[in-house]
Structure 1
């Protein structure tokens, strides 16, 4: 009886879609028609990996119609947020039991080619993931999913198009424009942007935790900030109007004289005490993060799945398959040269929920009648919001590091990396001497002291993540003021204003904070 009930619900969905597919070309979406042919759907899958995702998704839909326990497993694992998102890595659930045997046996039973084909799909796409998204206005989420009564449809996230191959819970297949978001139960099959496999050269260089290893493939986190066990969203913090007393003292000390705030923070140097040893009390952090400019343009820059506009020209109302991504992932590259030879690139990654970065306003579009009515959302208005981060980067010791850091931002799609070398010209401070009586090296003099600064070219090994959306760079100099003023805000009183930087796409702060 259960199978019959779920099949009937699926058929109702199919009937509903047939009855309303002509109506999507009305109102704002005058150029959009959801009626697609089998050929339209088939043409979206080109590579073996994409074809494998389609076959897996079709089998997943059939299997979810059969198994309540499979739906319960997916929901429970999504709520665990192992990578700080509602992702379910398939290889982590494949051996769990359902009423039809192991998960992988159930999926394979609905897959042409059976277990052999499933193994082939997983071998070609080890990070194959099922996302349980949170949809607008609390219409569907992992926590609200009624696994006993709701069989989700499945969208497939591809990187060459913004359109969504969509498999209804009836098994029918459609192509959904990227600017449409469902308000009914729907899952997403995708690659995982927060994990990296051992066939990537970056894998061995990472000290992050191994998520999965079976002798055939190893999978680990791209960054600890994606690991819920090591960083349970702790990179987010609320800024107060107060700063560390030593930072505000540095502002006061150098208001009337020419000097560097960080000289005081790292070396305790003032006009009256011009020499000092390095102190590890402070470290540089990535603080404020905000997309700049028009909200629509900013959102389109990072939500667009493909950087090839010829693949899917942007329609009116946006070209964003944002609901299929879950959270955004960002990469920040900090490039700093070393006095001792080759330079150093530090890469950090962090996730952001769309509604933490943007104020999103949706329009509803209800189609169909009575039991066959379904609602879709399109984005109506987008405003940028400020995100407050707390990501440690580097202790800035000028004895072995250059006086500037190049900060580059990317929005991450699929983390397939390539390592290459490049030359980078940097300036270095040379005013360091060994104080034999104290047995320590000291920075001698404010700023560059009496010594001339050096300019050197260093060869740096850099990591490029293919398919990322570049968001620009800016240079942070050791001599930049940390605090640039004090402001008054209604109801909150006065607060310190931290210097901010801009890449043209991103506004951010790079600020020292006390760590001990």
Structure 2
């Protein structure tokens, strides 16, 4: 069966806008031909568009398909409301055919879903959380609500939107829909053997393996099977408070290291101690810094080229990507000369990372009049992450680590080198009474620390938004001061050299 309508005109005429909106607000709309002249589409984009048209028709015909998409995205397999098309393509619909067979039937005769999945195995459906609870997977009434289908692209910050009447519109980059919509996109948290031929060496959970396709999380931080939840402690652990009390209140002139007490129980009255595995460094909090509009635009564009219009509207097309994904790279230098990187990550919803205030607009044609939102005001806020990093044993690792943070848009990586000069503590020996290796003395002890220049191989993802790096020293204070409020303490924050974000690194009790 052919698509009943092949209309590709962008029916974006405006019948009703709020008082501060004019037709000029929508002048970014372009025809297919104009867009192709600016950024010609590659094979993936063309096939994805054909898939989206067929998906729209299939969704319109099948309440069962709508229910499948809702139920599967509510599982949040990767901590967002997403489902891999590969994992549901063999589900049977009420017409007796599989999802794949239905898509193929409703598409152009030269389209086969298998051809798209062969080059885009992480093809994903997202049910976004839209502003002011206007639509979400939780709120979706699959019997009465037929969502439009949006396409997340890399050739424009505008959003191609296929309406239930099979018209294709280009949504401006600074508006967010306030009506039911699902998004066709790639998955930023899953990598396949297409992008990584050595995927079997990746020590993370396998998401899918069938027909020669293997997909894994690139970090298990995105695996929703891990039920550990981020937890905000009202007060720091008593050990951290004791370390602050010992070195900053009782012996302020000593200027000792708080982590000496946390990891070795070393203090002025007891200057030797074995390493204690009770604590591990954690990235505890994260926030964007500086002008909030610039911060939002930096991590919210699709193409790497944020769109700023004459009225300085905020680019909001990132709603098509779901929650933000942040990669945290911890660069560690070991005493044996072998450098290492620890790759981790966390997800944050836009509403958790920013205070967002919206304006409401109505636009459309006689048959398609819908509500849209624009961001009116935006400000930064701090999100609590609780991401585990390393047990910091100075006998194994250098006295400083580097933390790099980037917002993830792609998963294809290359390898580059990172060279820096680091210090290693040498004040370790065997405690004959205990028979264990012991740190001897405060700080670096009586011996002179050794200095080495080491090179670490690290992965680099072109297309991600690099937010900067900061050096964390073992000697840095964890708690820096008390507040005037009872039992309230201030811990140290690190601002990246680029100034785009800040975070806190703190030891946290893990056993």
TM over 0.5: yes
Q: Identify the residue that residue 133 of structure 1 maps to in structure 2.
A: 128
Task: Please point out which of 327, 331, 335 is paired with 1:331.
Answer: 327
Q: Identify the residue that residue 171 of structure 1 maps to in structure 2.
A: 166
Q: Does the aligned pair in 2 maintain the 1:21–1:34 contact within 8 Å?
A: no
Q: Does the aligned pair in 2 maintain the 1:36–1:174 contact within 8 Å?
A: no
Q: Identify the residue that residue 178 of structure 2 maps to in structure 1.
A: 183
Matched, 1:394 2:390: yes
Q: Identify the residue that residue 30 of structure 1 maps to in structure 2.
A: 24
Matched, 1:39 2:33: yes
- Aligned equivalents of 1:201, 1:24: Cα separation in 2: 52
Q: Identify the residue that residue 158 of structure 1 maps to in structure 2.
A: 153
SS in 1 for 2:298: helix
- Aligned equivalents of 1:161, 1:16: Cα separation in 2: 15
Task: Please point out which of 287, 297, 301 is paired with 1:290.
Answer: 287
- Aligned equivalents of 1:466, 1:372: Cα separation in 2: 39
Q: Identify the residue that residue 4 of structure 1 maps to in structure 2.
A: none
- Aligned equivalents of 1:245, 1:177: Cα separation in 2: 52
Q: Identify the residue that residue 3 of structure 1 maps to in structure 2.
A: none
- Aligned equivalents of 1:279, 1:18: Cα separation in 2: 64
- Aligned equivalents of 1:18, 1:441: Cα separation in 2: 72
- Aligned equivalents of 1:29, 1:397: Cα separation in 2: 62
Matched, 1:502 2:495: yes
- Aligned equivalents of 1:60, 1:21: Cα separation in 2: 28
The alpha carbon displacement at 1:421 in A equals 3.0
Q: Does the aligned pair in 1 maintain the 2:11–2:168 contact within 8 Å?
A: no
Q: Does the aligned pair in 1 maintain the 2:176–2:316 contact within 8 Å?
A: no
Task: Please point out which of 470, 476, 479 is paired with 1:474.
Answer: 470
Q: Does the aligned pair in 1 maintain the 2:327–2:405 contact within 8 Å?
A: yes
Matched, 1:359 2:345: no
SS in 1 for 2:389: strand
- Aligned equivalents of 1:161, 1:32: Cα separation in 2: 15
Q: Does the aligned pair in 1 maintain the 2:9–2:31 contact within 8 Å?
A: no
Matched, 1:206 2:202: yes
Matched, 1:250 2:243: yes
Q: Does the aligned pair in 1 maintain the 2:364–2:370 contact within 8 Å?
A: yes
TM-score after normalising by structure 1 = 0.91
Q: Does the aligned pair in 2 maintain the 1:34–1:174 contact within 8 Å?
A: no
Q: Identify the residue that residue 236 of structure 1 maps to in structure 2.
A: 230
Alignment of 1:61-460 (within 5 A): 61-100=56-95, 101-113=97-109, 117-199=112-194, 200=196, 203-231=199-227, 234-240=228-234, 242-255=235-248, 256=252, 257-308=254-305, 314=309, 316-367=312-363, 372-460=368-456
1:307-359 deviation per Cα after TM superposition (whole angstroms, max 9, x unaligned) = 245xx555621223021111000001111100012111111111111101111
Runs of 4+ in 1 over 6 A off after TM superposition: 21-26
Structure 1 residues without counterparts, runs of 5 or longer: 1-6
Q: 1:440 to 1:415 in 2, by over 3 A?
A: same
- Aligned equivalents of 1:344, 1:268: Cα separation in 2: 27
SS in 1 for 2:468: strand
SS in 2 for 1:466: coil
- Aligned equivalents of 1:449, 1:28: Cα separation in 2: 70
SS in 2 for 1:396: coil
- Aligned equivalents of 2:22, 2:470: Cα separation in 1: 39
Q: Does the aligned pair in 2 maintain the 1:201–1:418 contact within 8 Å?
A: no
- Aligned equivalents of 1:396, 1:15: Cα separation in 2: 60
SS in 2 for 1:238: coil
1:376-405 deviation per Cα after TM superposition (whole angstroms, max 9, x unaligned) = 111101111111111110000000100001
SS in 2 for 1:97: coil
- Aligned equivalents of 1:212, 1:286: Cα separation in 2: 30
Q: Does the aligned pair in 2 maintain the 1:267–1:278 contact within 8 Å?
A: yes
Query: How many residues align structurally?
Result: 498
Q: 1:405 to 1:359 in 2, by over 3 A?
A: same
- Aligned equivalents of 1:18, 1:91: Cα separation in 2: 33
- Aligned equivalents of 2:9, 2:333: Cα separation in 1: 63
Question: Which range is displaced more, 433-442 or 376-385?
Answer: 433-442
SS in 2 for 1:394: coil
1:69-103 deviation per Cα after TM superposition (whole angstroms, max 9, x unaligned) = 11111111111111111102101110001023100
Question: Which range is displaced more, 459-468 or 38-47?
Answer: 38-47
- Aligned equivalents of 2:317, 2:301: Cα separation in 1: 7
Structure 2 residues without counterparts, runs of 5 or longer: none
Task: Please point out which of 25, 44, 48 is paired with 1:49.
Answer: 44
- Aligned equivalents of 2:480, 2:329: Cα separation in 1: 25
Question: Which range is displaced more, 21-30 or 452-461?
Answer: 21-30
Question: Which range is displaced more, 323-332 or 171-180?
Answer: 171-180
The alpha carbon displacement at 1:369 in A equals 8.3
